[in-house]
Structure 1
Amino acid sequence: MRDKARAQTTVGEDLLFLTDDQLRRGIEAMFFAYRAFTADPDMILADLDYGRAHHRALHFINREPGLTVTSLLAVLGVTKQSLNRVLRTLIEDDLVQSRVGIRDRRERQLHLTEKGVSLERRLSEAQRVRMRTAYRNAGPQAVAGFRQVLEAMMDPETRSQYQAMKDLPEER
């Protein structure tokens, strides 16, 4: 029993002292994983003449119907000008509705239309399949560790935004 605990400690300690080459491999794995993760939605987006910014906007508006433009700006970390271009296209194409705020009439609350919900579902389905398969293959401990690593990579403000998103109700 002690040998097993000692072996686990050694493995854990080895992870604390990664070489530059091991870190580089981790970075490369993230690049390739991200490329694979975005490949399927990218094909759908290209057919519609949209980019990843459109996908991210659809994702977060779907995640939190009524999200304000200001909140979406903060979540996406883009300029107002950039977001306005994306939202203008999504609104013109009847994927997103911009409504006057309930509490503050100066605010614009964003909602997906039926067409927007359908597109968002198409875009995210392939990603869900990929994540589900990877999670099942890796197992629960690896999934928990993966989430821990991702959260540890976030700066405090980003982590706070992520934590707030985790508290939202499940997807509709």
Structure 2
Amino acid sequence: MVQGQSRSENTRGMLFLTDEQLRKGIEAMFFAYRGFTADPDRILTEKSYGRAHHRALHFIHRSPGTTVNKLLATLGVTKQSLNRVLRTLIEDGLVLNKIGTRDKRQRHLSLTEAGIDLERALSNAQSDRMRAAYRKAGADAVHGFCTVLEAMMDPELKEHYENLTGGEHI
């Protein structure tokens, strides 16, 4: 970095990054992810749940009535893995599993009040961290960060993301 320049001034306009800069970016993602998941992990540990439970709660909350097959596609996990997570969440009274009215083979998922409360606690922990980071970084950085995240998504996952967000971006 050139002395007297900020990180963004130093990299602004660069069309490429060195291997070392890319490595630093990868490491930043690893450590940011650890921070992003740390607060929810503490809440999940108290209930003997893991991140798979968190992801299931999050996406069921975002799409109440979603089917097991849609949740499988969104999460990209095996049916066996998802069934294990869902069984626990249903038994613990956090998720409702209703048989489809038009297609009896379909299972529609939604959160109970207790599930909504837990999902809210997990989301609030992450929202607080993201809100603070976004404020510190500023609007241009937030826009750039979101652009980078979307550019890293595989096309089919970007489609899931756009369906979930209604095509709206930050």
Tell me the secondary structure at the aligned position of residue 38 of structure 2. Answer: helix
1:104 deviates by 2.0
Tell me the secondary structure at the aligned position of residue 17 of structure 1. Answer: coil
Q: Deviations over 1:33-66 (max 9, x none)?
A: 0000000110111111100000000000001100
Distance 1:164 1:102 in 2: 24
Q: Which amino acid aligns with 1:125?
A: N
In proportion to residue count, which structure has more helix? Answer: 1
Number of the residue aligned with 2:56? 57
Q: TM-score, normalised by structure 2?
A: 0.90
Number of the residue aligned with 1:115? 114
Number of the residue aligned with 1:43? 42
Q: 1:69 to 1:17 in 2, by over 3 A?
A: same
Q: How many residues are treated as equivalent by the alignment?
A: 160
Distance 1:84 1:30 in 2: 30
1:11 deviates by 4.8
Distance 2:56 2:130 in 1: 20
1:30 deviates by 0.4
1:139 deviates by 1.1
Percent of pairs with identical residues: 66
Query: 5+ unaligned residues in a row in structure 1: which ranges?
Result: 1-7
Distance 2:84 2:54 in 1: 13
Distance 2:70 2:114 in 1: 23
Q: TM-score, normalised by structure 1?
A: 0.89
Number of the residue aligned with 1:96? 95
Number of the residue aligned with 2:164? 165
Number of the residue aligned with 2:21? 22
Number of the residue aligned with 1:133? 132
- How big is the alpha-carbon RMSD for the aligned residues of Structure 1 and Structure 2? 1.8
Distance 1:128 1:110 in 2: 24
